[in-house]
Amino acid sequence: MANKKHEAAYRPILKKAWKIVRTRKELWVLGIFAGFVNTGAVLEVAFRVSQPAESNSSLQKLFAENIIPGFDAWRLWFVQFGVIETWRAILVGLIILAVIIALVALAVCSQHGLVKGTLSRSRQKTMDLLKLPKRACWKILIVDIMTKILVAIMLAVSTIPLALLSSQIFANIAASFVVLLLFIAIMVTLSMLSILTIASIAHRGHSLHEALVEAWGIFRRHPLATFETALLVFVIHLLGGIITFMIIMVLWIPYLIAYLAAVLTTTTALTAIVSLMTAGIMLLVVLIAGGILTAFQYAVWSLIYQKLRGKGFLPKVHRFRKTFRIV
């Protein structure tokens, strides 16, 4: 009986999560919006890898650049507000603020809906999944803010040793490797604790404190199982991103052919239409792929949350040791 209780858990959970996501396409829509505040640590790690360490940058500038992705671009963009008329600057600022608030609200509701939609026995309408109590909304928003602040701090702090060693090539390479491994471990742990907390709020209606305690308790009781799952989801998310990038590259070939053909006709309108259509198709691919990956991520963690609240399962490392009789 003990063996059956701890038989392979990842494969059935992954299959069930994929079946739920594949058959409940309303979760794709929620995944698109939830992706605005949650990335499963993939984008954070990608951003960390893409940032060169500069020894001549002040620590303040280094910190700001890593807390706010594209800091320089945003700074230059906001400088333009000083050039245009005051009323236009205020109007544009209010529009941007309204869009940000709307996206954040949809993202929070979508995170709650993904957990609810995964663990419900039957399909529900998208609008029904987006409905949630105001208290739950604020709880999930606080979790998202806390997670992003911790991620931002980690992004900033992780560049400091690289900046200090940037003049020493071999030391910088070694430090980059060590920092990246530590960064991945911390990021996937933060992502895992964040989603477990949201699952506790959405599924059990817990208070923020109770949800945080339960998420930490699950991690403390099943550290290997949760961390293995976090790494597995991270790798799947990463592979999904790579496949999406490859699809876009494939779509780029017919675009170039169509664009060159449009240029040869010397028709500006046709060239613009080809470019806009291609950009629209690529954006649609990215949104759908991101929605599916995010929905799958939440589905896996929702099922893992439900499983680990019960008897749990044996981590892969332990099953490996048991199979090959390794002490």
Q: In the chain, where are the structural domains located?
A: 8-320
Residue 3: per-residue pLDDT: 47
How many C-beta atoms lie closer than 10 Å to residue 115's C-beta? 25
CA atoms of 130 and 7, how far apart (whole Å): 35
Residue 327: per-residue pLDDT: 43
Q: In this structure, what token pair is assigned to residue 297?
A: 């991520």
Q: What is the dihedral of CA 146, 148, 151, 156, to 10 degrees?
A: -110
CA distances from 99 to 93, 94, 104 (A): 10, 9, 9
CA atoms of 294 and 244, how far apart (whole Å): 13
> Tens digit of pLDDT for each residue in 210-221?
999 999 998 888
Residue 121: per-residue pLDDT: 79
Instruction: Tell the residue number behind the tokens 């390794």, with chain if given.
Output: 326
CA atoms of 183 and 155, how far apart (whole Å): 8
The reported pTM is: 0.78
> Tens digit of pLDDT for each residue in 7-61?
446 778 888 999 999 999 889 999 999 888 765 555 566 555 555 544 445 555 5
Instruction: Tell the residue number behind the tokens 């945003």, with chain if given.
Output: 74
**Running DSSP on this structure, what letter comes out for residue 206?**
-
Give me the DSSP letters along 113-137: HHHHHHHSSS---HHHHH---HHHH
How many C-beta atoms lie closer than 10 Å to residue 46's C-beta? 13
Residue 326: per-residue pLDDT: 44
| Residues of the chain under the 70 pLDDT cut | 1-9, 38-77, 80-82, 159-173, 175, 266-267, 310-327
Q: Over the chain, what is the mean pLDDT?
A: 77
Q: In this structure, what token pair is assigned to residue 174?
A: 């070694």
Q: In this structure, what token pair is assigned to residue 256?
A: 């170039």
Q: Is 316 exposed, middle or buried (0-12, 13-18, 19+ CB in 10 A)?
A: middle
Give me the DSSP letters along 193-217: HHHHHHHHHHHH---HHHHHHHHHH
